[in-house]
A and B are shown apart, each in its own frame.
Chain A
Amino acid sequence: MKLELIKGSRSRILAGCLMAVAVLFAVRLFYIQIIQHDYYQQLADSEQIKRLTIPAQRGMIYALSGSQPVPLVMNETVYTLFADPATVTDVQGIIKTVESVAGGNARPNLDKLLTTPNSRYQILATKLTTAQAEAIKKKGLEGIGFQQGSQRVYPEGGLAAQTLGFVDANGDGQYGIEGGLDAELKGKNGLLQSVTDIASVPLTIGSRNVKQPAVNGKNVVLSIDRNIQSYTEGALSRQLTKIGAPDGSVIVMNPQNGQVLAMANWPTYDPSTFNTVTNPSYFNNSVISSPYEPGSDIKTFTMATGIDTGAVTPDSTYNNTGVVNIDGIDIHNAPGDTQFGNITFQTAMNWSLNTGFVTVAERLGDGQNITLKARQTMYDYFYNRFKLGQLTGIQLAGELPGIIIPPSSPDGNAVRYSNMAFGQGLDVTMLQVASAFSSLVNGGKYYKPTVVAGSVDEYGDYHPAAPETPTTYIKPSTANQVRDMTHVARTTVFVGADRPGYYMGGKTGTSQAIVNGRYSNTDTVATYLGYGGTKNETKYVIMVRVSGPHFMGSGAAAAMPIFTDISNWLVRYLNIPPQ
């Protein structure tokens, strides 16, 4: 039997209507799926595909304890506790739990926060430890949640604070090694792009999933020795407290490779509470970022220049009248000079006589004047060989170069260079001076200073960095003569200060501080620059600076005792047998 709709029947009309609806659906589907494909695909992707950042872990910072790395800066997982006031059911229960578990990390006025109208997010406590977060989670309170984060922690407290620096709220390193090696420490965040379910669990379905693992930051091992750093900080704070000096800094270096063993500043701060510091100058590492007129410490470099060029020897003599005239300007020795007459440059070094070193500068020229040739020679040694007045390139943020006026400058005249011969008229940093002095006590080799000793890999293995190679040289015989001169200077003036059986030397420095562009009569910078070890090998260089507003003190009285304190401890710590 053949079924056929009768023309004009209700069935035929119904079939026609259904067909029309079907066509309408087909057209609509065609429009949505074909023509509007990209638009709806985008909408679906925005709902289903999530881009999640895989945070890179910031590299840890280690110091050395002998030859073993020990952590100075680590990462700790912390949690932020938040509440959704609209879904909170037990306000008093939450308050009681948070106050008892979070303690000082809880925000004040929890009651007010939890009952804030029209709010879906209120932070109740920050920086909770994992144990604290777990304790709160166990209570099963409704309407609260946790956000996981990471913060820097300092197991050694404020040790080497200025060398370390800190990480700010944006995750950027500031000051110290955190600022200097920020890019290396940060690492690189990874990316996870995936279809997720409603709970944001990534699913493997879909063809556009991306997973780029995070690259964690490099774990840096500093050359700072934890024990030397601790003792140095203690010695500095003890002496400054004793004499009432406001500011001070110390650097301890290994002259045989340019590594910094300790770098201390006072006053100091605790990096874990950097946001509570009211005086931002505490963040500065004065060893690298406070150029100053070094005073008589520079006489060692003037003497080295004179000996290396053959102009003078330690036993050469000159007539000390207590004053020398340069281009109409009288230059005097410091008050208390008793070494008049024909004296050696060794004597001038012992008693730090300015006239002796102005004479060395004259003998670099024609013997009577500080000629252009003399000034060019001094500049070549000071700037090119000893690297004074320029950035050393140490891996710390905030290093300043200082300045040495070249003889080609109108200000680089004979008067300036006569002043430079005994440490005035130039600005240098302690790091520059200590690094240059290291080359005088290690046989004449200049090593670029460094605070990085190596790195620790992901398995915890320590990989020491390749040893530095010296960059500039003076004659070994020159270096040895200057080393001996400073040994004689120390043992002549500071009899019995050192442990017997060791070979130490040094030079005091006392200079007027420049305040508001002028030499101040009420502010001095007291320094001591010295070394220690055995006759055969210098093991360490220590430089001390004591200064500050309205501080009047000499290098011998204020800075030298700190050197002696550290030096006598260091020979024992380094297990140097006496000879």
Chain B
Amino acid sequence: MTYQPTTYYNSRRQQNWSRNQNTARFSSAVKLGPVAHTVLVVLMVTVLGLIYLTQATRTTSYDYQSQAIESQIADLSTQKSDLEVENARLTSLNNVKNSNVAKAMTTPSNVQYVQQ
């Protein structure tokens, strides 16, 4: 009785064992010296700083807009309150009693009730 040798199975993981490693190396023809590196870093920091300042300023400008709107709301609220006070004054008993309509009213001489 003879035995057939077992077929070896290479997993995909084993096949791509070095997948995450660079398999090709490119060497650039441009060489950056220490000064160029320094300049690039400074430039990057400057750009990032400008971006930060822009965003921070934009937030602050929203604060001013928000403050302006809140101020407008407060003004409108004050106007509303003042109008409510004026309305209450105009509809107060004394004003109603002294109105031309009230002055033209007469006391009923006879009152009768209808039973439902």
Contact = CB atoms under 8 A, between A and B. Distances in A.
Residue of A77, A202, A227 with most chain B CB atoms under a 10 A cut-off = A77
B94 interface: yes
B85 interface: yes
A76 B56 CA distance: 39
Contacts of A331: none
B106 to A, nearest CB: 14
A76 B109 CA distance: 43
Given A204-B59, A578-B113, A157 B92 contact: yes
A341 to B, nearest CB: 44
Given A227-B93, A577-B115, A130 B79 contact: yes
Contacts of A153: 85
A150 B78 CA distance: 10
B50 interface: no
Interface string A124-150: 000001100000000000000000000
B93 A205 contact: no
A202 B88 contact: no
Interface string B34-67: 0000000000000000000000100110111001
A339 B115 CA distance: 43
Nearest to B67: A201
Contact of A572 (B78, B84, B85, B111): B111
A130 B111 contact: no
A75 interface: yes
A157 B94 contact: yes
A449 B33 CA distance: 94
Contact of B84 (A74, A129, A201, A227): A74
A202 B89 contact: no
Q: What DSSP secondary structure best describes chain B's contact surface? A: helix
A320 B94 CA distance: 53
A159 interface: yes
B64 A201 contact: yes
B67 A155 contact: no
B85 A577 contact: no
Given A201-B63, A204-B63, A226 B93 contact: yes
B67 A202 contact: yes
Contacts of A202: 63, 67
A130 B76 CA distance: 12
- Can you list the 9 inter-chain pairs with the closest CB atoms, starting with the nearest? A155-B88, A577-B113, A77-B78, A71-B88, A155-B89, A203-B63, A155-B92, A201-B67, A156-B92
Interface of A: 70-71, 74-77, 129-130, 153, 155-157, 159, 197, 201-205, 226-227, 230, 572, 577-578
30 contacts: A70-B88, A71-B88, A74-B84, A74-B85, A74-B88, A75-B81, A129-B82, A130-B82, A153-B85, A155-B85, A155-B91, A155-B92, A156-B93, A156-B94, A157-B92, A157-B94, A159-B93, A197-B60, A201-B63, A201-B64, A201-B67, A202-B63, A203-B60, A203-B63, A204-B59, A204-B62, A204-B63, A205-B60, A572-B111, A577-B113
Interface of B: 56, 59-60, 62-64, 67, 78-79, 81-82, 84-85, 88-89, 91-94, 111, 113, 115
